[in-house]
Amino acid sequence: MKSKPFYEKIQPKGMYSPSTYVHAMRAGNTIYVAGQVSKDVNGDIVAPGDAAAQARQAFANLEKVLAAAGANWTNVVKITTYLADPADSAAVSKVRSEVFGSHRPPHVGLVALPGPEVCVEVEVVAVLPEEEE
């Protein structure tokens, strides 16, 4: 009997392709999504210096990755947001609240990016329901 691979690489179509990593890995029912910044399909930064606009693009990228893995926002169980400037926290939190609505997974916010072009990076972990046999 052939067993399924331990993990599956997720590299969505219609997104920029990083040269040194994949956008996500699915191991069992868990999806680990790489930090997403405000890159468009060509890999160009969207809205340099505008944290709220960058957050919207980062979340749009996350949504594409989750969809490619068969998931959506309700499957997210952990969020980590990296900022270049702590003053951007309120604007980015507002965007995150708009995206997640009443679903409020645990969140960690860190000031860790060098800036100034990239203001925001967001990564998530999602879990899909158990498959019934």
State residue 132's pLDDT score: 57
Give the pair of three-digit tokens for residue 7.
């993990």
* 1 occurs within a structural domain: no
Scan for tokens 């956008």, then name that residue. 23
* 8 occurs within a structural domain: no
Q: Is 65 helix (H, G, I), strand (E, B) or coil?
A: helix
Work out the pLDDT band at 1, boundaries 50, 70, 90: low
* 91 occurs within a structural domain: yes
- Strand order in 120-127's β-sheet? 7-10, 24-27, 30-36, 120-127, 76-83, 107-111
* 14 occurs within a structural domain: no
Q: Other CB atoms closer than 10 Å to residue 16's CB: what's the count?
A: 15
Per the omega criterion (within 30 degrees of 0), is the bond before 116 cis? yes
pLDDT at residue 3 above 80?
no
* 32 occurs within a structural domain: yes
- d(CA 73, CA 87) in angstroms, rounded, equals 26
- d(CA 38, CA 94) in angstroms, rounded, equals 16
Q: What percent of the chain has pLDDT over 90?
A: 84
* 2 occurs within a structural domain: no
- d(CA 126, CA 27) in angstroms, rounded, equals 11
* 13 occurs within a structural domain: no
| CATH number assigned to the domain comprising residue 49 | 3.30.1330.40
Helix, strand, coil: what percent of the chain each, to 5? 25, 30, 45
Work out the pLDDT band at 118, boundaries 50, 70, 90: very high
The number of folded domains in the chain is 1
The domain containing residue 115 runs over which residues?
19-127
* 84 occurs within a structural domain: yes
